[in-house]
Structure 1
Amino acid sequence: MTRAGKHIYTFLDDHLGIYDNPQGIEYIMNMDDSVFVVCNLNPPPEPYVDYGLIYPSQPFQTFVDDFQFSGTRALQTMTPDKLWALYQKGKVEIFCTIVVKVVFYALYFRLAKNNTMIVRDDYDQEHELGMVFTSPNQFLEYTESRFYVETGPQC
């Protein structure tokens, strides 16, 4: 592990594995040392929706390599723009989650080649869309339609 990696690991460990920086970026280090990063985007398209950017759980060294951190200051000063840049590279996903009382339904969208997107659910099932969504409402409408198909009454 690099020197920077050791400092970042210690920093996250000292924060009990969870650190929220002043720009609204949340870092979560799991018990297996994997890390994911979350940034909620405001405003969400509807009040019952969580919407944002997520770097899916990756081994610690992959996390450090993907973000090219040089030290703990980079954790503290990172902005959503860095996550958007990693989204453009297909390493970060957009999440759209319907949250109504006890209902929780999430889909994760990442860019793929040939102007398409890969959609992943919480069971890691993936499929490719023949388009790229660009507005929060497109993500919401697609998530709602999949939610109704998967949870609606069966004929």
Structure 2
Amino acid sequence: MTRAAKHIYTFLDDHLGIYDNPQGIEFIMNLDDSVFVVSPINPPPEPYVDFGLIYPGQPFNTFVDDFQFSGTRALQALTPEKMWALYNKGKVEIYCTLVVKVIFYALYFRLAKNNRMIVRDDYDREHQLEMVFTNPQQFLDYTQSHFYQEGG
């Protein structure tokens, strides 16, 4: 582990594995040292929807390499724009979660090659779309239709 990675690990550990930076980006380090990064997009398309960017849980060293962090200041300064750049590289996904009473239904969308998207559910089942969604309503509409197809 690099010196920078050690500092970042200690920093997250000192925050009990959960840190929200000043830009509203949340870092979550799990017991297995995998790291999630979440950046909500506000406002969501509807009040019953959580919507944003998520870096899916990756081993700690992969997380540091993907974000090219040089130290804790970079962690504290991470912006939504950097998350969008990683989305465009296929490292970050868009999540769209329906929140109805106690029911949560989430799909995760990441860019693939040739103007396509990969859609993943909470059971890690994936399928490919032959298009790329570009606005929040498209993500919401697709998530809702998939939820109803699954019997929600």
TM over 0.5: yes
Q: Which residue of 1 aligns with 2:129?
A: 129
TM-score (norm 1): 0.97
The C-alpha deviation readout for 1:85-132, integer Å capped at 9, x for no partner, is 000000000000000101100000000000000000000000000000
The C-alpha deviation readout for 1:49-98, integer Å capped at 9, x for no partner, is 00000000000000000000000000111100000000000000000000
> Cα distance, 1:16 vs. partner?
0.1
Alignment size in residue pairs: 152
> Cα distance, 1:151 vs. partner?
1.7
Q: Which residue of 2 aligns with 1:105?
A: 105
TM-score (norm 2): 0.99
The C-alpha deviation readout for 1:7-64, integer Å capped at 9, x for no partner, is 0000000000000001010000000000010000001000000000000000000000
Query: Which secondary structure does the structure 2 equivalent of 1:151 belong to?
Result: coil
- Equivalent-residue separation in structure 2 for 1:48 and 1:151 (angstroms): 18
What residue ranges of structure 2 are gaps of 5+ in the alignment? none
Q: Which 4+ residue blocks in structure 1 deviate beyond 6 angstroms?
A: none
CA RMSD across the alignment: 0.5
- Equivalent-residue separation in structure 2 for 1:98 and 1:120 (angstroms): 15
What residue ranges of structure 1 are gaps of 5+ in the alignment? none
- In structure 2, give the amino acid aligned to 1:28: I
Q: Following superposition of structure 1 onto structure 2, how do residues 115-126 of structure 1 map, counting pairs within 5 Å? A: 115-126=115-126
Sequence identity percentage: 82
Q: Which residue of 2 aligns with 1:66?
A: 66
